Amino acid sequence: MRRFKELFQPLSAAAREQSCRDALAGRPEPLGNLWIFGYGSLMWDAPFPHAEVVPVQLLKWHRAMSIWTALARGTPDCPGLSLGLLPGGVCDGVAFRIAKADQAQALPIIWEREMWTDTYRPTWVSVDIDGVERSALTFTTNLDSGQYAAGLGQDQIIEHIALAHGERGPCRDYLTNVVAELDALGITDRYLTELAQAVAARPKA
């Protein structure tokens, strides 16, 4: 069982704002509509203004329970795991179109949610939207973060999810909810479905 000495520290407001500026500076396409690729809870809980939501498939990336959570769904002594995006494979998700007029309002909301710590790395990816390749911003697992859960075997992943419990409840409930929400959107993620089944077979803490 992996343990941590303390909670992960949030980014400062200044660091968060700088991260947003840096991401936008690397924008591949001219200013105008901004597309955000969502692959986890953002898909069914998007608290920012958006004009359109389109189902898309992202190539060369896949969902993984790759991020330590020591507060929401775990503790430093028994951390849980949450969703991230790692290189390789494919990932079905949705793309949100944010109109230019709404971006000043939407971006701080997105950064406050996704970049609370250094867990994620803002990353520009390409997605096919109505036959046109578009650049979209998403949040991939930051491989340099202390929250990156690297090198875990399947049994270790199952153990942490099965036993961890944080301020927002059991980690196993988080995984179950993710799979249910994906199913409701017509998205089947075999890895997460099989993982949820394996966790369900484990006794609760």
Residues that are catalytic:
114
Q: 4: phi > 0 → left, psi -120 to 50 → alpha, else beta; which?
A: beta
How far apart, in whole angstroms, are the C-alpha atoms of residue 196 and residue 205? Answer: 16
Are 3 and 78 spatial neighbours (Cβ–Cβ below 8 Å)? yes
Amino acid at the residue 203 = P
Cα torsion 158, 203, 201, 119: sign: negative
CA dihedral in degrees (193, 184, 80, 106; nearest 10)?
A: 140
